[in-house]
Structure formats: C-alpha cells, structure tokens
Amino acid sequence: MSDYTPPVTEIAFVLEEHARMSELVQLGFDEATPDLVQAILEGAAALTSEAMGPLNWPGDRQGSRVENRQVVQADGFREAYWQYVDGGWNGVPFPADYGGQGLPVTLATAVQEMVQSANLALSLCPLLTQGSIDAILAHANDELKQRYLPKLVSGEWTGTMNLTEPQAGSDLSVVSARAERDGDAYRVFGTKIYITWGDHAMTDNVIHLVLARLPDAPPGVKGISLFLVPKYLVNDDGSIGARNDLYPVSVEHKLGINASPTCVMSFGENGGARGWLVGRENNGLACMFTMMNHARLSVGLQGVAVSERSLQHAAHYARERVQGSAGGSPARVTIVNHPDVRRMLLTMKALTEAGRALTYLAMASHDRAHNATDEGGNAFHEARLALLTPIVKGWCTENSMEITSIGVQVHGGMGFVEETGAAQYMRDARILPIYEGTNGIQAIDLIGRKFLRDGGEAMTELVEEMRGVADALSASADAALGRALGAAIDTLGTAGAWVRANADAEGRTANASAYHFMMLAGVVAGGWQMGVGALAAQRKLAAGEGNAAFLKAKLVTARFYGEQILPRAAMHAAVAMTPAATVMEMEEGMFG
C-alpha cells in the first residue's frame, strides 16, 4: 500500500498558471507572496502526508459509532485534527477580524485538496466548518458572529449543515422540523439525517445550522428559516455552558467514507433545542445556499483529491508489479511497461489534472468576485463562478468514479481485494456525485439557471476565452491539440444553440439533455485548461525555467487529453441534442 505524496510541484504550477495567483495578490492579498505560498504548500504537505494520510486506511476499517449518546470517532483522528488546528490551517481564508489569516480562498483550496487526498473522511469535518463560517459571516447578526466565529475560524469548534430529513431529501419544500419562538431565541424540534460529522469528541462544541419551520410560516421553501443550534450552550463570557437538547441517534453504515460519522440527529426530545435565528425568518434557504455553494465547489475538489490519491496508488503498484513481457523481449517487466496500463494511468492523470485546473480556476473566480476593485469585474467573475460551480461539482465527481475504478483495474484481481487499498478510493468516491445536490441537479442547474436563463451570455464569454487558447495552441508546436480543442469548442457551441432552439416551457427537453450537456461542458473546459497548461509548459521550457521533466510530462498529458479525452465531446453533444420523447416514453410499470 502506497503512502500519500502531496503533488506540491503540480499544485504550485496550477496556482501560478491557471489561477494566476500573482494577480490575486494585487486584489488586496498582499501577504500571499511567492515565498509564503511555497511555505504553506510545503507545510500542508508535511501535515497531510505524516499525520493524516496514515490514518486513512485504518480509519476506514474502524469507522465510528455512537456510545452513551455521543459519537466515538476513529483512533488517531482527534490528534491529527488538532495538529491541523494548532497549525492555523483552518483559518487560512477567513477574515483577520475573527482570527483568520485573510489569504485567498484559492490558496486555501490547495491546503484543502491535500487534506482531502490524505484522508477524505477526516477532511469532511473542516469542510463543513468552513461552509458554516461562510453562512454565518454572510447572514448572522454581529452578536452571533462575535460569539461563534472566532472558535469556528480557529477550528476549536466545528460546524455542520442540517438540511435533510427522512421524507425530505433534495426537496427541501417538505422540511418538517419546527421551531418555536422563545424570547430572543427559539426552540427547535425534529429529526435530521445524513448529517456529516454531526457529532464527535474531537472538539468541545459542535455548531449546527438547522433548517426548520416556524408555526406561522408559509408552505414550501418560502417558509424555511435557518437556526444556529450549538451542541453546548455558550455563556456570555464565551465559556461552554449546559448541554443543549440535541443528540446523535445513530451513524449510518455506508459504502465509503466510513470514518466520517454520518449521523441521524434528534433535536428537542426534552423541551426543545435552544437556537438562534441566522438571517431573517422564512429566509433560511437563501442563507443555506451560501453554505451549499461553497460545499459544491469543495465536493468537486474532493473528486480531484480522491482521484489524485487513486492515481498515486495505481502508479506505485504498476511500477512494482512484474507480469508478462513487452516489446518482443522475453524478459518479464513491470506492468507500467504495457501500453494498455500506460493508457489507463494517463487517463487517470489527464482527467485529474484537468479537474484540478478547472477547480482552482473557479476558486480564483470566487476571490476575484469578492475582491475586484471595479463593479464590472465583480459581476463578470460572479457570473463565471456561477457557471463553473455545477461543472466543477458534476464533471469532477463523475470523473472521480471513472478514475478510481480504473485504479482498481490497474491492480487487476488484487484491486478487488480490500487489503490493497485501491477499492477504498472507489468506495469513497461514490458519494461525491450524490451529496450537496446530486449531479442530475447540478446538470439541471447548469442548463436551466446558468445557461438558458441569461441567454447563454456567460457561456458565450467562456467559449470566446477558450477559443483564444485553441488559436494559440494551433500556432504552436502543439497544433494538433489546438485543432482538437477548437473542434470540441465548436461542438459545445452547436449543442448550446440546439438546446436554446429546442427549449420548451415545461423544461422537459432541457432536463433530458442536461446531464450530457454538463459532461460536454466539463470535457471542453477541461481541455481548455489542459491547453493553458501546455502553453505555459512550452513557454517555460523555451526559457529554460522550472523542472524540465515535470514540464515535458505536462505536454504529454495535454496531448493525451486532446487525443483520447476531447473526442468524448462529440458523444456527449450527440446525446444532448437528442429530443426528450424517448426518455419519457416508457411507462412507469415497464421498468420492472
């Protein structure tokens, strides 16, 4: 079983060439100097490879459990988490006013990726905390911010998101948890399910953000409010007070991420869990979307992270496993010398690198949207971020299932045996297309809200930017990649025009096309970013800069993407431009 080696050189390249970190510094992130960026990458690499990575396999074996109405997490997780907290890692992107470091979200993404690759189950705890911080920063009153944010920003307390109920999965209009006014606070009652890190013994407090209805609330999503409900009440001096009326009932037995306690939470068994309103009454869904949009990008990053770990595991095995001969020689060779194994590894590598570049680009748009000095720049990057979010979440997580499955295949029969560790990445990846909005929901969001609603304006701007890269490649030593990218961009444009021309009032055609349109957009956008990387590698090699072997590998991987990944665009476009009639033709009972 291989160790996790953080890809520091690759991440630094993506930050520099794809996210354009030097431009972010000019938006007010003065402290994000190249020296500091490198120090953060190296420090995060040491933390994740030494403290978190070794716990990934045993944590999966052990899992978590409920004892005495409290979750017991896997051995070693508390100690590793506190190394993360003590190092100040949780506060990297948050305001200094609450104890954060005020650095770009894009730089924090690099830290987050390494944590996720090292130990996906453990990484979910700070991920939910960071989303909670975003929601509280954006919507809570000053009193709640002052009381809860410093401990959440430091990571001394953790946060959760409580949306789902047994009868209300993605359809939050039927949420039935209720809240009653109680002076300047509220009492919350109800059961929530699938609550990631809903309870644990790693920190002194867990801060829950809970969707619930007031007695006089209107029906549907317009009647949902958001409440901050702490596991332990917090005294006026900031100290921990009495236990609140909320408890974990059980943890789910899952296919993967077994060390992450996915809890059934009960609120208000004995008089009501005391909570405080975040935002306005009946405006909870808007508040929660702040947290959900952060989480959707982070889940896309999880797809990249688990793919990187699976790739490393498979490449390590392929370099050591001796089987068969190659090239006409009778000598036995390691399987990395077989062309089909090379094809599998390059597929894993190309999709992982494309996903990483696209995800970091989206995070950089987040930084630019919130820190641009001109209103036009802010609006442009808000639209770009909105467009990229469902693509990053959907395409990168779909790819993670393919990549981790290939990782098992590289191992052959040994990959099907749990003890090699390859299967864990595949099991862990399977949740990623499901939570924080299934990929079907992401696809519908992309085609409906992010494409059709604005007449395709944001997509048109993106396509024009892509064409500039394709043209530059076509005039370079990688002209074939430029031609392939240009053809794929044309295909995306053709499919987009078809979707606009055939959209019906009920949305049936668009919804039937949505998944393949999302995958088409991902394949093309990924190719665009591979082109950006190839141009940068060409430039650096010509100037004699950087690691030549790394840069040459960049070029080979980009060429492979053009030859064997970009052709997928034609398939996705062909399906996306198929009328919806057949999809809806079969009667319910005919499915078996």
Q: Give the active site residues.
A: 436
DSSP 244: P
Query: Of 225, 218, 235, nearest to 286 (Cα)?
Result: 225
Taking Cα atoms as reference points, which of 373, 543, 345 lies closest to residue 27?
A: 373
- CA–CA gap between residue 543 and residue 117 (Å, rounded): 33
Max CA separation in the chain (angstroms): 83
What residue has token string 């037995």? Answer: 253
Identify the burial level of 361 via C-beta atoms within 10 angstroms of its C-beta, where 0-12 means exposed, 13-18 middle and 19 or more buried: buried
CB 399, CB 303: distance < 8 Å: yes
Q: Which amino acid is at 390?
A: P
Please say whether the beta carbons of 529 and 18 come within 8 A: yes
Give the Å distances, CA to CA, from 359 to 218, 447, 545.
38, 19, 25
Q: How far apart are CA 246 and CA 157, in angstroms?
A: 16
On whether the CB atoms of residues 269 and 245 are closer than 8 A, the answer is: yes
Report which of 226, 216, 230, 219 is spatially closest to residue 149, judged by C-alpha positions: 230
How far apart are the C-alpha atoms of 176 and 264, rounded to whole Å? 15
Pair 46, 388: CB distance under 8 Å: no
